[in-house]
Amino acid sequence: MWEQLIEDVPRFFGFWNLMFLGQALLNTLLLSYLGAAFGFALGFCLAIGRHPRLYGIAPLRLLATAYVEVFRRIPFLVKLMCVFFAFQLSGAQASLFTVALVTVVLSAAAFAAEIARAGIESVPAPQWNAAEAMNFSRWQMLSRIIAPQSWRVVVPPLFGYAVGFIKSTSIASQIGVMELTYAAKILNTRGFSALLCFGTILVVYFLICWPTKRFGEHLETRLGQRPQA
């Protein structure tokens, strides 16, 4: 095992393999960060649409709640398959990358909606009452009162969830999206030892996830120290 490994190493880290892995890494990064960004934006909209004092009109509220509760209870793989086949049925010519991106966005939205709700609820009731007494419109209330106070609570946990989505994108290899895990499988099939292929991407995943998580923790302590407005 070890002799073969030592023989493989220079070949494995050759120029073309590194280019191949680099492209896969780029896809993983794009898929997870882009998906998380869109998903979180959508999640905030959902949270705003769920809150009775913001835009929570009854049918909208019900829909948003059902969405959040259902999508948090379906495994990523099953969601991926549903989105994949739904795209197929609709006849839209979507790339595999788009399918995976949509799945990440849909699940990120459901999780972000819960965090954003916690953030919105962290604003004390007198603030809401005061804003209403001053005859603020819903939009003014959100942008002037709620958002400036709740972002400190909302932003740090998002990084933890972003790490979760970086890890989930490895499942996108199942439908053949060219990301890190799929690249490792291909290299493994080409005859490089499994230890080398999967060991390398484990390290790469770690090098992406760990700084993201640490940055979130750093933000949490930093934003927590500041006096609350």
Partner 1 sequence: MGYDLIYSQVTGHVPYLLGGALLTLQLATISFLVGWAIGLFNASILHFGPHPARLAVQGYVTFFINTPLLVQIFFIFFVLPDAGILLSPYTAVAIGMSLNAGAYLTEIQRAGFQSLRREEMDAATAMGFSVPQMVWYVVMPHIAKTLYPPLSNQFIIQVMTTSIAAIFAVEELTGRAYNVNSLTFRSMEVFSIVAVIYVVLTLACSLALAVLGRWLFRVKARIV
Look at residue 178 and give its three-state secondary structure: coil
Angle subtended at Cα 214 by Cα 148 and Cα 36, rounded to the nearest 5 degrees:
60
Task: Report whether 31 contacts 172 (CB < 8 A).
Answer: yes
Q: Which of 12, 40, 67, 205 binds partner 1 (CB under 8 A)?
A: 205
Our finding on whether 78 is near partner 1 (CB under 8 A) is: yes
Q: How many residues sit close enough to partner 1 to count as binding (CB under 8 A)? A: 42
Our finding on whether 125 is near partner 1 (CB under 8 A) is: no
Task: Report whether 96 contacts 175 (CB < 8 A).
Answer: yes
Using CB under 8 A as the binding rule, the residues of this chain from 138 to 197 that contact partner 1 are: 163, 166-171, 173-174, 181, 184-185, 188, 193-195
- Give how far Cα 206 sits from Cα of 4, 98, 139, 159, 163, Å: 25, 25, 41, 15, 10
Nearer CB in complex with partner 1: 1/229? 1
Which stretch, 7-15, 126-134, 139-147, 199-207, contacts partner 1 (CB under 8 A)? 199-207
Using CB under 8 A as the binding rule, the residues of this chain from 87 to 106 that contact partner 1 are: 88-89, 91
Our finding on whether 7 is near partner 1 (CB under 8 A) is: no
Task: Report whether 106 contacts 99 (CB < 8 A).
Answer: no
Our finding on whether 81 is near partner 1 (CB under 8 A) is: yes
Measured distance CA(102)–CA(79) in Å, rounded: 10
CA 183 to the chain's CA centroid: 21
Q: Which chain residues interact with partner 1 by CB under 8 A?
A: 1, 69-70, 73-79, 81-82, 85-86, 88-89, 91, 163, 166-171, 173-174, 181, 184-185, 188, 193-195, 198-199, 201-202, 205-206, 209-210, 213
